[in-house]
Structure 1
């Protein structure tokens, strides 16, 4: 089976304190971090065994917080990128951690989904980190939440990044009808695919890869159909991919998050992103 696994462990803290993010307001105990580490080690053990079973995996670390400040995630990415049956390993990160370790990654498999948080890091420091990935030839996209206070910072970053690095803007959806037509045009000039992210797509009863070949794995091994449709469908270590896989139409009325709606085949997002769908790099930006 070709499967996509989104993995999220017990950790729920960040080294940034963005006012709109709940994870900036928590600090994990040593016990929680040790639990997170042991959960990841168990997951890694399971992944190693899947090659013999004929599975090909794409793995995305989608944490509640920032994981690359922890050695066990850096080591996991290095190892996963070197496994023959792992097609891709990607991580959501604010890119604040040191990047000397990235030279050990298999560059054809590793990718970074980088989030920019104006006010939490300087523009110069963030750009420097991005350029370290760029100079190593490691695939990455950069993105930020499109709140009005960040418009100028996002536009400046776009002007400073190399043209072949995709900068995406996540539509701010906490307020209905947040954007004016002029603001949509402005953000579309920065991110040519911004308007794909604005809608909350009708999804109830629609086909989706979630639960069929896309799985949302919690640290203890519990598997949910989707990060939003939180119905538990089984246990990774007990049921395995074959036992978990089943066509499961969406149980939510709407789907408005990129990591969810990209797996709805009727939206044909693969026509835009090709084989870089997971790390959100449109085909025209692939290097």
Structure 2
């Protein structure tokens, strides 16, 4: 079976304090960090076993917090990237951690989704980190939330990154009709895919690969249908992929999150992004600017 797994353990600590982000600044206790590490080690054991069972995996780490400041996530990224049955391992990160370990990654399978947080880091520091990945040939995208006050920072970042590095902009949806038509046009010049994220997708009762071959794994092994339709559909370590897999129409009225709507059957995103789907790198990166 070919499956995609989104993994989220007990980690809730982030070294940033972005006001718009649900991953608010928090300091996990040593107990919580030890629990998170043990959970990931158990998950890694399970991943190792799947090759012998004939499964091909794509894995995306998106914890509530910053993963790469913790050694166990870096270790897992390196190991998974060299496993023959892992087609992709990616992580959502703010790029604040040292990147000396990334030269151990297999650039054919490892990828990063890097989020730029103006106000939390200096622009040149972020660009320096991004360029290290570029020089290593590791697939990555960069992006930020499209708040009006950071428009100048968005334009500046785009101007300084290599043209072939895709920069996405997450639409700010907390306020209805937040953008003017002119602002949408300006942001679309920077991110040609901005309008795909600007809207929400009618999803209730519609077919989605979530729960069929896309699974949202919690640190304790519970598997949710997705992060919006949060029903628990089984347990990874008890049921295995075959036991979890079933067609399950979405129960939510709408889906507005990239890691959800890209898996809707009727949407074109798998074709648009191809092998860069997890790290959010579209097929046409070389020609969209």
Within-5 A mapping of 1:135-284: 135-284=135-284
The runs of at least 4 consecutive aligned structure 1 residues that moved more than 6 Å come to none
- Cα pair 1:9 1:39 within 8 Å, conserved: yes
Cα distance, 1:40 vs. partner? 0.1
Partner Cα distance (1:276, 1:78) in 2: 18
SS at match of 2:284: helix
Residue matched to 2:123: 123
Cα distance, 1:286 vs. partner? 6.2
Partner Cα distance (2:26, 2:215) in 1: 26
Residue matched to 1:65: 65
Cα distance, 1:22 vs. partner? 3.6
Report the RMSD for the aligned CA atoms in angstroms.
1.0
| TM-score for the superposition, normalised by structure 1 | 0.98
- Cα pair 1:15 1:24 within 8 Å, conserved: no
- Higher deviation after alignment, 99-108 or 265-274: 265-274
Partner Cα distance (2:249, 2:286) in 1: 31
Partner Cα distance (2:242, 2:153) in 1: 46
SS at match of 1:24: coil
SS at match of 1:48: helix
Residue-pair matches, total: 287
Residue matched to 1:19: 19
Partner Cα distance (1:276, 1:180) in 2: 30
Cα distance, 1:277 vs. partner? 1.1
Residue matched to 2:56: 56
Return closer, same or farther for 1:142/1:126 CA change in 2, 3 Å cut-off: same
SS at match of 1:80: helix
Unpaired stretches in structure 2, ≥5 consecutive residues: none
- Higher deviation after alignment, 143-152 or 277-286: 277-286
Q: Does 1:89 align with 2:89?
A: yes
Partner Cα distance (1:17, 1:268) in 2: 34
Unpaired stretches in structure 1, ≥5 consecutive residues: none
Return closer, same or farther for 1:128/1:14 CA change in 2, 3 Å cut-off: same
Cα distance, 1:23 vs. partner? 2.6
Residue matched to 1:38: 38
- Cα pair 1:202 1:255 within 8 Å, conserved: yes
Partner Cα distance (1:171, 1:201) in 2: 14
Superposed CA offset, 1:110-137 (max 9, x none): 0000000001000000000000000000
